[in-house]
Structure 1
Amino acid sequence: MKAIVDQDACIGCGLCPNICPEVYEMTDDEEKAIAIDDDIPDDKVDGAKEAEDACPVDAIKVE
């Protein structure tokens, strides 16, 4: 599975890296969230999906 953050929709609230820092992080300028490029580790899928559900602007897709 992979996580994708829609950069156009992301408002940079920081919620996703707070929920699952192993999958999401903020860009260097702290304006947007990004997802790791690799497949999500099996033990982090639930956290990645929790962040997807919590995103206030539905900018995250875990597929």
Structure 2
Amino acid sequence: MEQQTEQSCIICGQLKQEGIVIVSHFICEDCESEMVRTDAEDIKYRFFIGRMKKIGLQKNA
């Protein structure tokens, strides 16, 4: 079995092994799960959007 290397999550900043990579930026499994469950009206939703902008996923105007 191959050993995965730890990567720094762009949301929480912690080193984790499990998660997803979007446009070469790592999001840990915990943050991914929390983002999916967060309601758009929740204050944390804006935090997640701000972090995601780091990887250039905002819509083109």
Look at both structures and tell me which one has the larger radius of gyration over its CA atoms: 2
- Larger relative contact order (CA 8 Å, sep ≥ 6): 1
Above 0.5 in TM-score? no
Higher helix share: 2
* TM-score, with length taken from structure 1: 0.38
